[in-house]
Amino acid sequence: MQKNNQLEKNLLICGDNLTALDDLIKKGIQADLIYLDPPFFSNRHYEVIWGDEAEVRSFQDRWEGGINVYIEWMRVRVAKMYEVLKENGSFYLHCDWHAGHHLKLMLDEIFGAKSFQNEIIWYYRGGGVSKERFGRRHDTIFFYTKGDNWTFNYDDIRTPYSEESLERLRYKARAFRGDKVYDSYEPNPKGKHPDDVWEIQPTMPSSKERLGYPTQKPEALLDKIIRASSNKGDIVLDPFCGCGTAMAVAQQLGRKWIGIDISPTAIKVIIEKRFSKLGLKESKDFDVIGMPTTVDELRALKPFEFQNWIINQMKAKQSKKLSSDFGIDGYYDKTIFTDNSGIQVKQSENVGRNVVDNFETALSRGKFSRGFIVAFSFSKGAYEEAARAKSGGLEIRLIKVEDLLLGKVKI
């Protein structure tokens, strides 16, 4: 796929970035720019419905053992990123107030304090303030470089002058010191030199960019970073790529890119929702590696990731209710059948009669006319109970994960 330290095709990797970074190092692949927006140390649990209610993403950034465990988890990964980064490369780490000060010390150790360039403040407006403190309205982005020479295209990211600044700069104020006269300078037609406070609004619910990802960053933010610290043809790496903002912007700016995420759901969203809008096609424009292709790999997925994979594979919709859904994890609406059908996902073997019986109750309560249970295997009693339900007018199909994986299931 790759040779001679070059990336022949853009790359999307599903898996732990620690392993993926090791693979890049072994292949000699290096990046000109690394941007990462890792899970924050916020002790929050995100459980949201992806756009159009077709995807559910559940992840948590709780770290048992506290801040030291979190920093060590980050340290080993950033150390690998340092190896992947070219000698003249740039590195941007996105964080917030929860762990920013700890991360800064860790970055100083890996890159060296002299390699620190900026603490960028991303300021944004929004609601939800506390009466006990100032409103928290910014994230922090630490900018480091690896060598003595790095790319910084400041002319490409100049910002417009305010009207007040323009008036001040255009005014030919004269200062008399003895017999000398000093005139003020004319403003740069491209705008003022970029500073380290960026006012960029987050991705709003009504935005065309919005994919429903809980921590989605606006393209304008990544556009500024990528324009500043890379050139056309350079490689941009995002080792926590989420919904793919960095890759989408890199693609539009003529850069090559590598995205890594541990979530198959995230990878699928990038491919189907983000890249399709850009006209990108798998195999032609980018390669995908690491997606689950075996029963054992599916068995190893986290519960919500497994559920996402099953519902997506069945081309169904996720249940709108993420709790108290009465056993209905997904459904087909009337665009598929003449009436609604429910789906239950079990990440287990030898699913028994009681599961089918309870699902039958859930279907009746939800006024579904048929149902599908997906699991690794079923007991004899489960098949008998499904047959009994069918004789009573309610069809319940039992589907094995292996059959779904091999494309043997026809809905």
What is the CATH number for 359? 3.40.1350.10
pLDDT of residue 270: 87
- Alpha-carbon gap, residue 381 to 222, rounded angstroms: 55
**Domain check: are 283 and 314 in the same one?**
no
CATH code of the domain containing 41? 3.40.50.150
Domain ends where: 290, 323, 340?
Answer: 290
Q: Does 376 fall in a domain?
A: yes
What pTM did the predictor assign? 0.84
Q: Do 173 and 261 belong together in one domain? A: no
> Is 410 inside any structural domain?
no
Does any domain span residue 2? no
Please return the burial class of 353, using the count of CB atoms within 10 Å of its CB with bins 0-12, 13-18 and 19+.
middle
Q: What is the pLDDT of residue 44?
A: 61
Owning domain of residue 178: 161-192
Structural domain contains residue 339: yes
pLDDT tens over the chain, length 411 residues = 444 457 889 999 999 999 999 999 999 999 999 999 998 776 665 544 343 333 344 445 556 678 998 999 999 999 999 999 999 999 999 999 989 999 999 999 999 999 999 999 999 987 778 889 998 899 999 999 999 999 999 999 999 888 777 776 665 444 444 455 555 557 788 999 999 999 999 888 778 887 777 788 999 999 999 999 999 999 999 999 988 999 999 999 999 999 999 888 888 888 888 999 899 999 999 999 999 999 999 999 888 889 989 998 898 888 865 444 568 999 998 777 767 899 999 999 999 999 999 999 999 988 888 999 999 999 999 999 999 999 999 999 999 999 999 999 988
- For residues 56 and 201, membership in a common domain is answered with yes
Same domain (yes/no): 369, 249: no
Q: Are 142 and 203 in a shared domain? A: yes
- Counted domains in the chain: 3
- Both 33 and 145 in a single domain? yes
Domain boundary among 255, 273, 290: 290
Phi–psi pair at 125, nearest 5 degrees: -90, 160
Q: Do 106 and 217 belong to one domain? A: yes
Smallest Cα–Cα separation from 283: which of 5, 7, 10?
10
Of the candidates 97, 79, 76, 99, the residue with the CA atom closest to the CA atom of residue 34: 79
> Are both 251 and 337 inside the same structural domain?
no
| Residue 118 sits in the same domain as residue 26 | yes
- Scored b (16 or more CB within 10 A) or e, 244-259 reads bbbbbbbbebebbbbb
CA atoms within 13 A on the CB side of 47: 9
Question: Is 3 a member of any domain?
Answer: no
Residues 57 and 200 in one domain: yes
Examine the fold and report which residue of 230, 259, 290 is the final residue of a domain before the chain moves on: 290
> Are 238 and 255 in contact, with CB atoms under 8 Å apart?
no
Q: 199 and 188 in one domain?
A: no
Q: 387 CB contacts (<8 Å, ≥6 apart)?
A: none
The answer to whether residues 188 and 310 belong to one domain is: no
pLDDT at 177: 43
In a domain, 1, yes or no: no
Residue 131 belongs to a domain:
yes
- Cβ atoms < 10 Å from Cβ of 161: 16
* Residue 46 in domain: yes
Structure tokens at 106: 């860790």
